[in-house]
Structure 1
Amino acid sequence: MLKVYQRRYLCGLAGSSFFACLLLSSASLNAAQLQPHKAVYDMRLSSAQNGVDIADINGRMVYELSGSVCDGFSVDLRFVVLSFDQVGGRTVTDLRSSYFEAPDNSRLSFTYKTFIDDLLTEQAQGTADHQASKVDVDLVGPDEKKMSFDGPIMFPLQHLHSVIDGAASGHQFMVSLLYDGSVTGEQLFEASTVVGKKLADPLDPRTDRVSLPDVLGTMDAWPISIAYFNLSDQAKGEQVPDYQLRSVLHENGVTRSMNLNYGAFELEGALVELELKPVALEGRCERPSANGQAGSVSGEVQLSAPER
């Protein structure tokens, strides 16, 4: 039973995670500027429903964002948890993921692997490309497969941009279609986001156990709640989210004070290490245009799928 829960709650976390994870359908073009950073979170079990065969969970998540508006952004995530059942049995689940989003949001390249007790139990590798009104997915591992999803679909960091821009514009509720390549790469998610009132004190520590950089005190921050629904699930009746994320989100993309609710149990995440890296771009960057001449790309990021 414990391994069933492990597989369910970790499979979709790495990409849509708040980053994915974190990540969200605003048309605003405020274009939040993400700051490369490395964040480490200690995770622990905060509550479990009666009858759930989980006595305790603890672990650590490491999330690293690198890149720039001109070159695109990469995310590397490692999430290792140790779980105990009611009779003392233990399970180690190790989720490893990495993905890259092109600077114009046109392509997502991704790799996901999940190990349970050192056994590879799930993996996905491939690319996803935005077309005018759909996303084409090309899976290359472990099996080759092509598929398409229709609609105004976002990739994880594109989604994160839209949540930040929406919050800055006063949007309190947003619904987005999200593809992140997680689980087996065949899942499409709906992310329903609720944004709370902007924090009067952006450095309110809450569950964090680290001295937060002063620069975060000059940046807006909001409490957010995101429910992730697996649209590939064919279950009938009222749909419930696969999981729900509650956190504090800063305008530069840093996430902290994390709570993950999987229905049967909840995990609490405390930020224990944060390294802010320099922002590589301020202003504009030069790129070759279609006719071979140098052209400029603004530091703003398109929030909708590019027309082709």
Structure 2
Amino acid sequence: MRSLLCLFLLLAPAAARAEAFEFLAFGDMPYCSQNETPCADEQRLNVLIDRMNAAQPAFSVFVGDTKAGAEHCTDAVVADRTRRWFARFEHPLIYTPGDNEWTDCWQDRAGRFDPRERLALLRREFFPGPESLGRVTLPLERQADLDPGRRDFVENARWTYQGVVFATVHAVGSDNNRPPLQGPQPPGAAQEFPPRDAANTVWIEAAFAEAERNRAPALVFLFQADIFFRDRCGFGEYEGHVATRAALLEGARRYGRPVLLIHGDSHFFLVDLPLRGPDDRTLGNVTRMMVPGAEDIRAVRVRVDPEADQPFGFALLGDPARARGPSCP
């Protein structure tokens, strides 16, 4: 009997090794001037997309801000122009919104649009079902489909690739559309912010639970906001991201394996360890990578080796002619 068991173990197929792969991350582009036709940065973006297609990544992720803050939030800019360049992707493209295409649209410089109406437009146009954008699509799980109480949040997506769990979280700049304690109130922010902030927290917790349940070797979150801006620069609103940061911290401490946070918003390339625990010690398993943007029209190649102790590697893709270094306003 023992010999038969040994023979069975020898003949049984070994567990498949997760293969290394590469994906691309970018955001905060094109930043066109008002009524600029043709938009020079859109033309530069088209060149970048050609290079991204030639790289043949597993997928690409756009982490928000499809327009400049000073461009009017018209259908032509927010939907039509974005749809045009999204359609150029020959591989799967996942998108999570930024503040410029909805949150900040109430401002004079953006044409005084209703932010909630612009958000509804984005949800109709770019989150039609359980799959990515791009000419080749990738199956996605959406919070709206998995949680009956969160049917509005179609933009929060999750997928697994080579065992690694990925999740987008709709956390944006301008303090996440949280109503400010002083000054002008963005229309509808008091009604819009609380349920989305709560949904984001639930979605982050669900992503960690999914990774733990499947013993995922790593977990990647993607969102627009630079939620660590105040840590770096010493000023700026942050209350709108307190719950997001707390959920990431608690989940990462429990999970223990590598976690990667990818975002845009501050427009320069940065890799660091941003999270600190209650004892003020850096959480060593959480890496943050901020993509360039605005005038710096480049993407970041993220190489992932699920079997490695340090699974993530980064390299820039594109023309560095207008790149800038770290800065605070």
Q: Flag whether TM exceeds 0.5 (same fold).
A: no
The higher relative CO (CA closer than 8 Å, separation ≥ 6) is in 1
* TM-score (normalised: structure 1): 0.32
Higher helix share: 2
Higher strand share: 1
Q: Which has the larger radius of gyration?
A: 2
Q: Give the alignment's TM-score, normalised by structure 2.
A: 0.31
